Amino acid sequence: MENNQVFGSSDSTAELLDSDVSSSESCPACKSRHVDAREVGKGTGAFLGTVAGVVSGVCGALLSGAADDDGASTAVGSGLHWLGVASSAVLGGISGGVAGCSVGSSLGAAVDGRILSNRCCRDCGHRFFMPAF
């Protein structure tokens, strides 16, 4: 077997790996197989989920830190208290951002697969809907 016949047939490997989607999908306008998946909803959902998660995590940590302050702490204890609040705000923001990104990306992928024009032809630029299975 020759080195360029990776799949055991005479098809060009570069042509098989050229498209982001399966080879059975083709453009309805020009019948080209150079079709890319558009993930507009997934990217937008991930961004909005990340922002919402960071804001929620930071606000939750700051509000819980302010509620724990009883006003009877000394000057050293007060400084350490706010150091703890700041570190929990950072960790809350990171964990909230990760969770928000995951949820937003999943919701955006669902919108991509069911509502938006989720494919784009590289040859003619036509955007079309193909249901995700």
DSSP sequence for 75-126: HHHHHHHHHHHHHHHHHHHHHHHHHHHHHHHHHHHHHHHHTS--EEETTT--
Distance CA 31, CA 76 (A): 72
What pLDDT sits at residue 10? 43
- The verdict on residue 34 lying in a domain is no
- The verdict on residue 19 lying in a domain is no
Residue 112, phi-psi category: left (phi > 0), alpha (psi -120 to 50), beta (remainder): alpha
- The verdict on residue 110 lying in a domain is yes
- The residue ranges of the chain whose pLDDT is under 50 are 1-23
What pLDDT sits at residue 76? 52
What pLDDT sits at residue 24? 65
What pLDDT sits at residue 15? 45
Length of the chain measured in residues: 133
- The verdict on residue 95 lying in a domain is yes
- The verdict on residue 30 lying in a domain is no
- The verdict on residue 33 lying in a domain is no
Domains contained in the chain, number: 1
DSSP 27: -
What pLDDT sits at residue 55? 95
What pLDDT sits at residue 133? 56
Domain encompassing residue 122: 39-128
- Tell the residue number behind the tokens 């969770």, with chain if given: 99
- The verdict on residue 1 lying in a domain is no
- The verdict on residue 123 lying in a domain is yes
Whole-prediction pTM value? 0.66
Amino acid at 3: N
- Residue 36: exposed, middle, or buried by beta-carbon count in 10 A (0-12, 13-18, 19+)? middle
For 24, the 3-state DSSP assignment is coil
